[in-house]
Amino acid sequence: MRRHRLGLSNRNLVMVGLGTALGIAVLLSPFASSNPDGLDRVSQDHGFDRKALATTPAQQLPFHRIFDQYTLRGVPAGVATPLAGLIGTLLTFGLAWGIGKLAVRGTQNPDIASPSSSEPPPQ
12 has a pLDDT exceeding 70: yes
Give the whole-angstrom CA distance, residue 37 versus residue 58.
18
> What residue numbers bound the domain in which 89 lies?
53-101
The whole-number pLDDT of residue 41 equals 85
Q: What is the 3-state secondary structure (H, E, C) of the chain?
A: CCCCCCCHHHHHHHHHHHHHHHHHHHHHHHHCCCCCCHHHHHHHHHCHHHHCCCCCHHHHCCCCCCCHHHCCCCCCHHHHHHHHHHHHHHHHHHHHHHHHHHHHHHHCCHHHHCCCCCCCCCC
Question: Residue 21 domain-assigned?
Answer: no
- The total number of structural domains in the chain stands at 1
123 or 63, which is more confident?
63
Question: Residue 13 domain-assigned?
Answer: no
Give the whole-angstrom CA distance, residue 7 versus residue 15.
12
Check: pTM over 0.75? Answer yes or no.
no
CB atoms within 10 A of CB 87: 14
Question: Residue 66 domain-assigned?
Answer: yes
Q: What is the pLDDT of residues 20-69, one digit of tens each?
A: 999 999 999 888 888 878 888 888 888 887 777 777 777 777 776 666 66
111 has a pLDDT exceeding 60: no
> How far, CA to CA in Å, does 59 sit from each of 31, 67, 80, 88?
25, 10, 19, 17
Q: What is the pLDDT of residues 57-110, one digit of tens each?
A: 777 777 766 666 666 778 887 888 899 889 989 999 999 999 999 998 877 665
